[in-house]
Amino acid sequence: MINKYFQKFLYHASYQFRRLVAEIAWALDPVHWMSARKIKKLKDKHKGERCFIIGNGPSLNRMDLSLLKNETTIGLNRIYLLFERMGFPTTYLVCVNKLVLEQWRNDFNSLPITKFISRKARDYIDFSENTIFIDTLYTGNLDFSTNISNKIHEGSTVTYVAMQIAYNLGFETVILIGVDHNFQTKGEPHKTLISDKPDANHFDPNYFGKGFKWQLPDLVTSEKAYGLAKKHFEADERKILDATVNGKLEIFEKIDYYSLFE
């Protein structure tokens, strides 16, 4: 019994030590400071404007995305698979999931748009003119960052990270599309799976295609995070609207997508 508790103590101590070393390394990394400078330049760049955060749900296939051509857009994860069909790229892209970044590193490195990338991928995502590394957390107390040059809580979904980025960029209205908040595949939140068939949970069957690793969603934690985002936006007289077609998320005010372009 003593040996068991001692092993747990050693594991915890080792984890904390590795975490401390990683924090020090990041604090001393020139990329940290260069990313912080880029973030500072972008602060309130879009003050008073609206933007669309584009999720990755199958509902995107039932929408006319060409209407977004002249809008400011924030795409998530592998949204670039839609760029050819849309006819244009998103203005920004956000990705914080290490599995996604590691498996498709070449795709992300080749994207010429401004990318917000978790520093967890520092070893295999190149730092370039278009890359901004952000310090994301997936454990600890849930929080909403009003200064994204500091730590950003992931809230179990990249969409929440995008909301915090949108807040820092100054957007007055954020409109969600493709945030279906509904997955056909069920199971333990955060559990890593290896896909063995075409992906039915996203807009493209190759999104997490056969043989690729991905993690099951944590819809409960993400709903708590969305509630926190709503609170911060509304406290600043800003708002988040949900224009997802038949989306299951009930946190934000619903609005018809096409009415936004009348």
Please report, rounded to a whole number, the percentage of residues in the chain having pLDDT higher than 70.
92
pLDDT of residue 159: 98
Over residues 103-162, the pLDDT tens digits come to 999 999 999 999 999 999 999 999 999 999 999 998 888 999 999 999 999 999 999 999
pTM: 0.91
From the list 188, 139, 135, 185, the residue with the least C-alpha distance to 164 is 135
pLDDT of residue 214: 92
* Confidence label for 96 from pLDDT (cuts 50, 70 and 90): very high
Alpha helices (runs of H) in 111-262, residue ranges in sequence order: 158-169, 219-235
Instruction: Say how far apart CA 50 and CA 223 lie, in whole Å.
Output: 22
- Looking at per-residue pLDDT, the higher value among 8 and 114 belongs to 114
Query: What is the average per-residue pLDDT within 8-34?
Result: 71
Over residues 208-237, the pLDDT tens digits come to 988 999 999 999 999 999 999 999 999 999
Instruction: Say how far apart CA 220 and CA 222 lie, in whole Å.
Output: 5
Least confident of 39-48, 111-120, 188-197: 188-197
Please report, rounded to a whole number, the percentage of residues in the chain having pLDDT higher than 90.
79
